Amino acid sequence: MKIVQILGHNPNWNVEAFTQQGIGDEFLITAISFGNKFVNNKRVAPILDKSMLDLQFYGQKNSGHLSKGKLSDFDFHPARFLNDDEATNIRINSCIEKAIEYQVSLGFKKVIIPHYYEDNYIAGIISTIKFANKYLKSNKQDGIEYFMTLPLAYDIIRNQDNVEDLLLELTDMSIIFDGYFVVCENKPEQGHKISNDIKLITNLSKVLRVLKYQGFKTIYGYANWDAIFFLAQTDIDYITIGTYENLRNFSIKRFTEDISGGASEGYYFSEKLLNMIRAKDLINIRANGMLDTI
């Protein structure tokens, strides 16, 4: 299992933690935070060879409503088509093709194929996966790993029949993806960081376990403490960690509505102390050069 640091609007801590403390193995660049300017960002540019890019097509053209965020920087992003009523399958598929080509052109060795969030339209999810797989059969390049994004809506992951239908398609013998980039809508109860919904936990664990068993590499994106449980069930290849709350929980609202974000007011777990540490206390601990003690 490898740790992937998610780079949001302020990547300083993540890059320093990697270069100075050796925390993590790779990085995940979030398109909504950087737009297409990440290639020139003084913090991000030096670590591009260790990075992946999530182009975050989740909200489709509705992402164009956002007053913040930089998804519209990409000329192929669905957010550019806010006022375009012709959101046809041809247009959607073209966006995916260009997203793959864009990442390859920048030299990414792990390409994340973007996918759209669907509330409960399983047929739409499967159709897009089949298209991306067909495209890749003619365009896959040696030396690059391709991960298909699998955005699991809350209602979908809680439905066992939906999960079975998806797994049947995801593990079909014709699939040539190297792996899947799995993100799941948790909807934890108020006051909680992660969901304690047993249906969600059981079904998501099954998805990760079956994909791995069938030989696919897995990336669990926007993970929280729930990753500990899933790692106990199966050997996930990559787990992401985020500095900010909105990077540790996948929510479609982040890509369709203007919502506030910010640093966590919660707790972090210290393996050395085998205890929880208040997030706000980390500022003083770091200022006094004592991060190594925790």
Give me the mean pLDDT over the 60-76 stretch: 84
Same-domain pairing of 197 and 95: yes
pLDDT of residue 260: 59
| pLDDT for the residue 207 | 98
Residues 96 and 205 in one domain: yes
More confident call, 201 vs 67: 201
Same domain, 222 and 130: yes
The values of phi and psi at residue 244, to 5°, are -105, 155
The per-residue pLDDT for 233 is 86
User: From CA 102, how far away is CA 95, in angstroms rounded?
Assistant: 10
pTM for this model (two decimals): 0.87
Higher pLDDT, 97 or 17: 97
CATH number of the domain residue 13 falls in: 3.20.20.380
63-67, 74-78, 162-166: least confident range: 63-67
Q: Are the C-beta atoms of residues 226 and 186 closer than 8 Å to each other?
A: yes
Distance CA 208, CA 243 (A): 24
**Model pLDDT for residues 72-113, shown as the tens digit of each residue:** 999 999 998 866 655 566 788 999 999 999 999 999 999 999
Counted domains in the chain: 2
